[in-house]
Amino acid sequence: MMNRRQVLKNLGLGAGYMVAAPSVFSLLQSCKNEPGFEWEPVFLTPANGYALQQILEVIIPKTDTPGATDVNIAQFIDAYLNEVADEKEQDDFKAGANAFAINFKSNLNKSVEDGDPEDFEKAVKMYLGAEPEQREDFVKRLSATQDPEAPEETEVDTEATSYGYLDNVRNRAIWAWKNSEEVGENVLWYDPVPGTLIGCMEIGENGNNGKTMSL
């Protein structure tokens, strides 16, 4: 599995998946756990909520910087889908989560709620870690199923839909991780009172060690 730093580098630490509206930022910053708090999803089913947490731990594990669980990304995604997303976005996410659960059962012979971290690492790697040609094939197959002119009775391609779901989750996770308060202030380059803009300067000369600037 590609390590977290390489994933963030490849995605430019700026997935830009969602419009950074104040309400979304407010929702993101509100997702904080109190001691002893056990999160229960409000939009996703308990099984798909558990799977989402495990998937996020594979994509953004805790290292010397906070992981997905540390900044409550699963809680944020679930709340965003419940409170902000439109019906199509909700339906697409549910369909993706269900397709992933079906393929998880088929490939690992157990349901997602019975999966352990190693199982989820295998499941995520199967799609996001696939060879470029395979990923391109997934994208083409997914596009075919989403064609508005496709027959209504077209069977769901659970493999392609699982890939699309995991790619969706990854994009949301990168956006939420980068824009969380904890990461913005303690991991990225945080300057609450920015100074003079200098257009031409070597990255190593500006004192931020090449880090992306926090919003």
- Asked whether the predicted pLDDT for residue 162 surpasses 90, the reply is yes
* Better pLDDT: 182 or 162: 162
Is position 204 within any domain? Answer: no
Is position 96 within any domain? Answer: yes
C-alpha span between 140 and 137 (Å, rounded): 5
Across 36-43, average pLDDT: 76
Is position 72 within any domain? Answer: yes
Is position 137 within any domain? Answer: yes
Which pLDDT band holds residue 195 (cuts at 50, 70, 90)? low
Looking at residue 28, its pLDDT comes to 53
Which pLDDT band holds residue 2 (cuts at 50, 70, 90)? very low
Is position 207 within any domain? Answer: no
Closest CA to 98 of 34, 38, 52, 39: 52
Across 180-188, average pLDDT: 54
- Phi–psi pair at 189, nearest 5 degrees: -80, 110
Burial class (CB in 10 A: 0-12, 13-18, 19+), 45: middle
Is position 140 within any domain? Answer: yes
DSSP 8-state assignment for residue 34 = P
pLDDT in tens, 83-126: 888 899 999 999 999 999 999 999 999 999 999 999 999 999 99
Which pLDDT band holds residue 134 (cuts at 50, 70, 90)? very high
Mean pLDDT of the chain: 76
204: its two tokens: 């190593």
pTM of the model: 0.72
Which pLDDT band holds residue 154 (cuts at 50, 70, 90)? low
Asked if 69 and 57 count as a contact pair (C-beta separation under 8 A), the reply is yes
Across 129-144, average pLDDT: 92
Domain of 154 in residue numbering reads as 4-13+45-190
Is position 215 within any domain? Answer: no
Q: Is 188 helix (H, G, I), strand (E, B) or coil?
A: coil
Which pLDDT band holds residue 174 (cuts at 50, 70, 90)? confident
Is position 121 within any domain? Answer: yes
Number of domains, the chain: 1
